[in-house]
Structure 1
Amino acid sequence: MPTTNQYEGIKHIARITTNFEDTCEHCKEHFIDPATATNHYIKEHGYKILYIGPESDISGMEHYHWTVTILGK
């Protein structure tokens, strides 16, 4: 059975995260909610979801967790 590469043809990546507000890099619309930002990139700019999952960082003794969405087109 042939397999397809979901990343084939991807020329540009956008990253949306739950740990800070974001602005669309194409039209400069401002987003507080990452779900709204994700939907905007899909509907207005033709992106598709490549990955949704956890991301973390350790700063000093603190461990931080958030969710990241990677979109591509």
Structure 2
Amino acid sequence: MQPGNTIVELSFLQGYDLEGNDVFLSRRFQNIKSTATDERVFTSVRAIANLSDFPLRRAIRRNDYDLLQLENME
């Protein structure tokens, strides 16, 4: 079963609030090829992270799958 949609979400440590808690900046990349391997996605994530002034703290890949696909929706 092929994923219908793939999204990659990156969370960068932007700084700290007044209480010393981490403050994160998240960026979401949609329309990732569902056929892209985890290794290729990870390579892309590292390249994007290298362009940021903030350290990458988390990278999540989400694949949505169609469990049921109807031919005619009438």
TM-score category, normalised to shorter length: 0.3 to 0.5
Greater RCO structure (CA 8 Å; 6+ sep): 2
Larger radius of gyration: 2
